[in-house]
A and B are shown apart, each in its own frame.
Chain A
Amino acid sequence: MHALANPARFLSFARPLTPWLGWGGAALLGASLFGGLFLSPRDYLQGETVRIMYVHVPTAWLGMGGWAALAAASASHLVWRHTLAGIAARAIAVPGAVMTALALATGAIWGRPTWGTWWEWDGRLTSMLLLFFLYCGYLALNAAERERGGEAKLSAIFGLVGAVNLPVIHFSVIWWNTLHQPPSLTTEGSAIDASIAWPLLGSTIGFTLLFAAIVLMRMRAILGQARFAARLRRAAA
């Protein structure tokens, strides 16, 4: 891990890895969504709306997984002062926020025909909305800190503090009476029939690879920007 903290070494593996992750993820996602929209059966109760799950579950997972990665990067930024870790956290924030927003939107669209409501202030929905606000807060705080030219220590601390929301999101449906159903995939097995679970697994992996590719691209862009700014400063001096 520490060897990767060197930006030059990071770039030497990130550059060839990005297209593999990006195109691999896009291909897998395309195939899975095709399978999910046209080949897999409808649900016996929900009917066709079950297909919203093929977008809802991966985006919700990446919204939460994104913050977990952001918190891990923030921790290594605080502990080891790796500049690259701070860049990684910053690179994750925007796609993570987009994924969380997508999960909220698809959930609302699914909830209207299934539950009979677009939105209900239950534990799961509220804690997920909080995650979206945390992303927005992180982005604002990080932008303000960069403007002042600091090393983004406050946003790293914010990233760590925000991580306490993740277990709340996960356990909300177990701790409290909620409208949202409990997890279908547990250590005891899957409550999702295999014919519906396969496209879901594929689209989850596809979305994740695509997310990783976007984060790598953003990290490279941020590194490139920093190098460009440094060169401008040298030229001006």
Chain B
Amino acid sequence: MRAKNQRMTLVLLGMGAMLIAALLAMWGLRDRAALFLSPGDLRTRSVPAGQAVRIGGMVRPGSLVRAPDGVSLSFVVGDDTPRTVPVSFRGVPPDLFREGSGVIAEGSFAPDGRFVAAELLAKHDENYKPPDKVAAAHRTETLR
């Protein structure tokens, strides 16, 4: 084998091995690299009350209630599984926070199973449209 071909084989083998190693490492990380748990994830993973965690999903349409004090909100987060999580939050939510949209809440579970969020992040989906092309009310179909 010529030296050139030898080096080529070596580089290709090295790249292949590195790629497999990286994919294995990422696969090992899996849900530990996730930024948040969805309600469906909570079926298999129990999070003790009081432990700091991020949960994320869709704000169920019709579930958003603003308290008369103006800064307290409560809503229900769901995903494509039947499980839902009631969330309460005191503060100013981001502009894109709305019903039918994705949300990530940082906080912890209260003993009664309600999630008390210290911070809310709005998720943006992959759709970009001008205002005049949006016929129906905004709705995000995918959780991601």
Q: Nearest B residue to A193 by beta-carbon distance? A: B129
Q: Does A176 contact B130, Cβ atoms closer than 8 Å? A: no
Query: Which chain A residues (55-91) contact chain B, with CB distance < 8 Å?
Result: 75, 78-80
Contacts A43-B131, A79-B4 known; 13 new A-B pairs at CB < 8 A: A43-B129, A45-B138, A46-B96, A75-B15, A79-B7, A116-B95, A117-B121, A123-B34, A160-B11, A176-B35, A179-B104, A179-B123, A181-B126
B residues in contact with A44, CB < 8 Å: 129-131, 133-134, 138
Q: Nearest B residue to A121 by beta-carbon distance? A: B35
A116 vs B95: C-alpha distance when bound (angstroms): 8
Quote the shortest CB–CB distance from B13 to chain A (angstroms): 12
Residue A113 CB within 8 A of the other chain: yes
Quote the shortest CB–CB distance from A30 to chain B (angstroms): 22
Residue B19 CB within 8 A of the other chain: yes
Contact-size category for B: 35 or more
Residue B52 CB within 8 A of the other chain: no
Quote the shortest CB–CB distance from A47 to chain B (angstroms): 8
Quote the shortest CB–CB distance from A145 to chain B (angstroms): 18
Partner of B18, one of A43, A113, A115, A164: A164
Given A78-B7, A79-B11, A161-B18 in contact, is the A193-B130 Cβ separation under 8 Å?
A: yes
Partner of A114, one of B21, B31, B119, B124: B124
Quote the shortest CB–CB distance from B64 to chain A (angstroms): 16
B residues in contact with A46, CB < 8 Å: 96, 124, 128
Produce 1/0 per residue, A124-156, CB < 8 A to B. 000000000000000000000000000000000
A residues in contact with B97, CB < 8 Å: 116
What is the total number of residues of chain A having a CB less than 8 Å from a CB of chain B?
Answer: 47
Partner of A193, one of B33, B36, B128: B128
Residue A183 CB within 8 A of the other chain: yes
Partner of A195, one of B8, B120, B121, B130: B130
Given A182-B142, A193-B129 in contact, is the A45-B96 Cβ separation under 8 Å?
A: yes
A174 vs B126: C-alpha distance when bound (angstroms): 12
Residue B61 CB within 8 A of the other chain: no
B residues in contact with A80, CB < 8 Å: 4
Quote the shortest CB–CB distance from B35 to chain A (angstroms): 4
Quote the shortest CB–CB distance from B34 to chain A (angstroms): 4
Given A179-B123, A184-B126 in contact, is the A113-B33 Cβ separation under 8 Å?
A: no
A residues in contact with B31, CB < 8 Å: 176-177
Q: Does B18 contact A120, Cβ atoms closer than 8 Å? A: no
Q: Nearest B residue to A172 by beta-carbon distance? A: B33
Q: Does A79 contact B8, Cβ atoms closer than 8 Å? A: yes
A165 vs B22: C-alpha distance when bound (angstroms): 8
Residue B127 CB within 8 A of the other chain: yes
